């Protein structure tokens, strides 16, 4: 009797297992770029003015663009549109390009991103490829706009990434040399000291973001490029 009971229990157990629901596959991961949606929505709320002045210059990218508070003074006579957001990566600007770059019909685009990408583990090749994707997306809507990639800066807090930064910059520079109306603007070398290390005096206390002296270097590099595109 006991043996029969054990056999019956095993049969019931097997039936439960065989008919248990199969777990659903995890939903596709939402793109990390979506986390910047509130920033993009804020830009769009202010677009009633900037979208009425085509031919300006869009500065887009990460917080180094967002914090460039002297932009209008650094480029007098230029209709600058600042669309830097958060700690964004190269691919984030690509994701939102149809909302924060191409609608303004700019004559030129100044792009900066890449150090956050490398810090998060993306490779120099991926950074280059992500920028190529940005250029291709923008070109679909703005075939004649000039695009400049501001080289990834050497921040003291991320000095350990200098080899990857150098490689990523070189890869983007090579791409720009072969692409039409795409230029590489070197701020990397002017921000190094005689020993090839990041210059602390160009940065604020966090040793990641720049002070006025750092932005003065950037303006000095970007200004001639803008003048040449007029």
Confidence bin at 46 (pLDDT 50/70/90): confident
Choose between 46 and 183: higher pLDDT.
183
What distances in angstroms separate CA 66 from CA 75, 81, 111, 144, one per listed residue?
Answer: 16, 10, 11, 25
More confident: 25 or 91: 91
Range 172-190 average pLDDT: 98
Does residue 103 contact residue 91 with C-beta atoms inside 8 Å? no
- Identify the residue with better confidence: 53 or 81: 81
Task: Determine the average pLDDT of the residues in 18-45.
Answer: 61
Looking at residue 8, its pLDDT comes to 45
Length of the chain: 230
- Reply yes or no on whether the pLDDT at 227 is more than 60: yes
Give the pLDDT score at 23: 32
Residue 230's pLDDT is what? 63
46-60, 80-94, 187-201, 212-226, range with the lowest pLDDT: 46-60
| DSSP code per residue over the chain | -HHHHHHHHHHHHHHHHHTSPPPPPPPPPPPGGGGGHHHHHHHHHTHHHHTT-TT-EEEEESHHHHT-TTHHHHSTT--EEEEE-TT--HHHHHHTHHHHTGGG--SEEEEE--HHHHHTT--HHHHHHHHHHHHHHHHHH-TT-EEEEEPPP--GGGGGGHHHHHHHHHHHHHHHHHSTTEEEE--TGGGB-TTSSB-GGGB-TTSSSB-HHHHHHHHHHHHHHHHHH-
For residue 150, list its beta bridge partners.
185
Percent of the chain with pLDDT over 70: 86
Q: What does each C-alpha distance from 183 to 115, 130, 145, 177 come to in angstroms?
A: 18, 16, 12, 7
Contact partners, residue 179, CB within 8 Å, separation at least 6? 135
Question: Is the distance from CB of 140 to CB of 188 less than 8 angstroms?
Answer: no
Q: Per-residue confidence at 31, pLDDT binned at 50, 70, 90?
A: low
How much is the mean pLDDT over the chain? Answer: 88
């Amino acid at each position: 009797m006991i043996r029969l009971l054990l056999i019956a229990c095993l049969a019931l157990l097997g039936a439960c297992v065989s008919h248990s629901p199969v777990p659903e596959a995890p939903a596709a991961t939402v793109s990390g770029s979506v986390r910047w949606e509130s920033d993009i929505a804020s830009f769009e709320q202010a677009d009633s003015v900037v979208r009425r002045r085509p031919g300006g210059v869009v500065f887009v990218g990460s917080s180094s663009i967002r914090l460039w508070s002297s932009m209008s003074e650094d480029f007098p006579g230029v209709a600058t549109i600042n669309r830097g957001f958060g700690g964004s990566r190269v691919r984030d600007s690509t994701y939102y390009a149809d909302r924060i770059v191409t609608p303004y019909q700019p004559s030129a685009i100044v792009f900066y991103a890449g150090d956050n990408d490398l810090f998060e583990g993306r490779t120099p090749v991926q950074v280059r490829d992500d920028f190529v994707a940005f250029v291709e997306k923008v070109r679909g809507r703005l075939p004649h706009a000039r695009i400049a990639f501001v080289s990834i800066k050497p921040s003291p807090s991320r000095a350990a990434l200098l080899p990857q930064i150098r490689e990523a910059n070189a890869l983007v520079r090579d791409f720009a040399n072969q692409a039409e109306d795409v230029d590489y603007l070197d701020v990397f070398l002017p921000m190094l000291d005689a020993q090839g290390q990041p210059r602390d005096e160009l940065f604020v206390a966090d040793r990641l973001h720049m002070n006025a002296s750092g932005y003065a270097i950037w303006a000095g590099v970007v200004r001639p490029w803008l003048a040449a595109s007029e």
